[in-house]
Every structure is written in C-alpha cells, then in structure tokens.
Amino acid sequence: MNGSGHRVAITGFGVVAPCGIGKEAYWRGLLGPGVTGAKSVEIADWDPSPWYASPKESRRADRVEQYAIAAATEAFTQAGEIGADPSRFGTIFATGIGGLHTLEEQIQVRLDKGERRVSPFLVPMMMANAPGAAISMRFGLRGPNETICTACAAGTHALGYAARLIAWGRCDAVATGGSECAATATSLAGFGNMTALSSSGISRPFDAKRDGFVMGEGAAVFILERWDHAVSRGATILGEVLGAASNADAHHITAPSPGGAGAIECMRLALDDAGLPPSGIALVNAHGTSTPLNDAAEAEAIATVFGARTVPVMSGKGVTGHALGAAGALEAAQVMLSIDKRLIPPTAGTTELDASLAIDVVHGAPREWTPGPAISNNFGFGGHNGSVIIAPAV
C-alpha cells in the first residue's frame, strides 16, 4: 500500500457460495449459467457438520456464522502454519445484517409460544459480530477483532482495513472477509417492496433489461500477512493487496450519487493508495448489482476513471446473486481465482448490453487475460463506497 510501510500478502482464502462450496467448486460455478426465476439464490442442502465437533455446537450458530467458519477453515488450511504471535493476529470481518434467520425464527417462537420459549442463544446467534468472533475463538486469534457493517460495501471495507493494519505494522497477520445469510421471508418482502429485487428473477448486470438484483448468500475468508513474514516462513504467496479506499456519497439512503461521483472519487483514492495510474488496472470487478440506477452510475464512474471501454469489466452477481455484506469478499475471491486461472469469468445473465453504458463488459464467454492489478468495487445503502486493488504475487 503506497507509502504505508509493509507489503500485504494473501496466503490463503476460502469460499462458501450457492454455486460451490470451496474455491475450486466456486470457480466452476462462476463459469456456469446464471440465476433464473428466483428472488434469492441460496446454498441447498447445507450441512455444517464437517466444520463442527457436534450437532449441538453447530445448532448454536446461525448459518451466517457457519458459512464463515467453513470458509475460514479452507483459508487457514491453504495458508499453512502461519506462526504469527496470536496477539498480533487480527480478525477484521464483515456482514451486512448478521443472524437474521435466527432473529426471525425466534420472533415467531415468541408470538406463538410466549417469551419464555425464546432461545437463550438468540442474542449470540443473531449479533452481527458473531461470525468474526467465532473465527477469532476457533483459531485463537487475539489481535484486533472487529466487525464492519457497512451494508453491501462491508466485505471490501473489511479487506481494506485489514490490509492497513498490516501495512501500518499493527498486525502481522489478519483473517478477513465477510459472511451473509439474510434471505428470510421478511427481508425478501422488504427488498421486494422497495423494488430492489428483480421482478423477472434474473440477475443480469449492465444488461439493457436489468430490473433489480437477486438475493445471494455465502462467505469468503482471506489470510493476509506481512509480506516479509510470509516469505520468511516459506509460504506460497497467492497475491497482494496493493491499495484500498473508502468514502461516502452523502447523497441518499439507497440511490448512488449522480454520475457515480462518490464511486469515481473512491476508485481514484484506491489508485493513489496503490501508487498506480488508471492505466495500471487490468480488470474491474464491478459491484454490478443488476439494478438500473447502480449499474448506470458505476458504469459512468468506471468510464470516467479509466476511459470508455478501455479495461475489461465483470460482475459475478449473475451467478452468485447479491450477497450484501459478503459480496466484497466473494468478489475478491473472484479476482484471486481469475488471476490463478488466467481467465475472466463472463458476466452471467447478461445478453444484451445497455448501449448507453461505455464499458467493456465481459459476457457470453470467459476471456483470457494476462493477470495484473484488479480493482474490485462495492457500494452500499447509506452511501458507502469501497474499492480494493488486488494484484498477482510478484
């Protein structure tokens, strides 16, 4: 991160998503067909037992926490024996909502059976910081343990903050990422009634017929380390966090600022943090939610920062749906896999690009590329903007 001190290495990551459990399955899912005919895309037949000592233990964790533990286990397994001082190993995690399924279920229990039947585990299961706290306890991480809850920008914000803690010398390693499991009947009703969800049940970012997002869920976890620490222990370095940025639109609770003004500034701040010119970016992993306003504003922002149709742009939400606070983490995993496979997945669901958008959207088929620095964007209700720049290990 430009002028900030230590380089930030990525030495492991793990993924849990509806299109695949584990990063290799996730990659195959990203190359597959998009979501069709659904308000939400969820993990079918989820079984938490591989990651818990007993059914009793797993029952005391909402799925948002279970997903985080599963993804973290894969990440730590890949990273190997890190050997960092536990007091300098942080957990910076993200969610948009937290244990909403548990909250909604227990509200119904109270209404049907009375308050004495409400579970004593309601609070630790529903609280937004539960996934990060569970990772910290499972892996004995005694450094900073903080949860970022900035709606759909949270995952990207967590990655950026975690990287800064390492760059500034506050931590030697950090487990970071995001998790979400919020497609309850009530949340879907709320998003639907505000016309944010696709009426067609199809997520098609930047398409001329886009009409809203499809709700997603899942988790992705990354192990970040001081570069010299990773080198000294002989770790395989998978990538590097070059820079990140966060700012606010200060415009509207749900709509982006006109012309993508906040997104423009956020991407420019991230480029400055990474010490890169716009021409140094080889891929834009867009927020690309499939909503009319967001896609138009983001496309204008991308064209303003990088030039019209000059850099490949992709969005994974045609496959994953919109996983809210986990979106930034899942999409950073897309960047890492695209670097590893030397292939940009197509933007699933998108068949007819909106002619008014001056960006080069990869769609229809994967595109080969020479991996280079990629910027991943996420923007959240409340006017939150986040960008992170991830590059191949060099």
Give the pLDDT of the chain (394 residues) as one tens digit per residue.
765 699 999 999 999 999 999 999 999 999 999 989 999 999 999 999 999 999 999 999 999 999 999 999 999 999 999 999 999 999 999 999 999 999 999 999 999 999 999 999 999 999 999 999 999 999 999 999 999 999 999 999 999 999 999 999 999 999 999 999 999 999 999 999 999 999 999 999 999 999 999 999 999 999 999 999 999 999 999 999 999 999 999 999 999 999 999 999 999 999 999 999 999 999 999 999 999 999 999 999 999 999 999 999 999 999 999 999 999 999 999 999 999 999 999 999 999 999 999 999 999 999 999 999 999 999 999 999 999 999 999 9
Query: How many domains in the chain?
Result: 1
What range does the domain containing 64 cover? 8-392
State the pLDDT at residue 4.
63
- Please return the burial class of 75, using the count of CB atoms within 10 Å of its CB with bins 0-12, 13-18 and 19+: buried
Domain for residue 300, yes or no? yes
Name beta bridge partners: 6.
none
Domain for residue 3, yes or no? no
- Helix count and strand count (H, E) for the chain: 13, 14
Q: How many CA atoms lie within 13 A of 283 on its CB side?
A: 30
Domain for residue 380, yes or no? yes
State the pLDDT at residue 1.
78
Measured distance CA(274)–CA(280) in Å, rounded? 10
Greatest CA separation for the chain: 62
Q: Which two tokens stand for residue 342?
A: 């030397």
Which residue, 291, 294, 298, is CA-closest to 376?
A: 298
Active site residues: 152, 287, 322
The helix/strand/coil state of 96 is coil
Pairing of strands 239-248, 384-392: antiparallel
Query: Which residue in this structure is represented by tokens 């017929």?
Result: 209
Domain for residue 46, yes or no? yes
State the pLDDT at residue 3.
59
Domain for residue 1, yes or no? no
State the pLDDT at residue 237.
98
Which residue, 125, 104, 16, is CA-closest to 61?
A: 125
In CATH, what number is assigned to the domain containing residue 79?
3.40.47.10
Domain for residue 45, yes or no? yes
Give every CB contact of residue 91 below 8 A, 6+ residues apart in sequence. 132, 133, 135, 136, 141, 143, 144, 145, 146, 174, 175, 176
- The dihedral through the CA atoms of 10, 15, 20, 22 has a sign that is positive
Q: What is the DSSP string of 330-370?
A: HHHHHHHHHHHHTEEPP-TT--SB-TT--SEE--SS-EE--
The helix/strand/coil state of 382 is coil
Q: Does pTM surpass 0.95?
A: yes
Domain for residue 20, yes or no? yes
The helix/strand/coil state of 371 is coil
Which residue, 286, 270, 158, 272, is CA-closest to 224?
A: 158
Pairing of strands 89-94, 145-148: parallel
239, 208 contact by CB (below 8 A): no
Domain for residue 2, yes or no? no
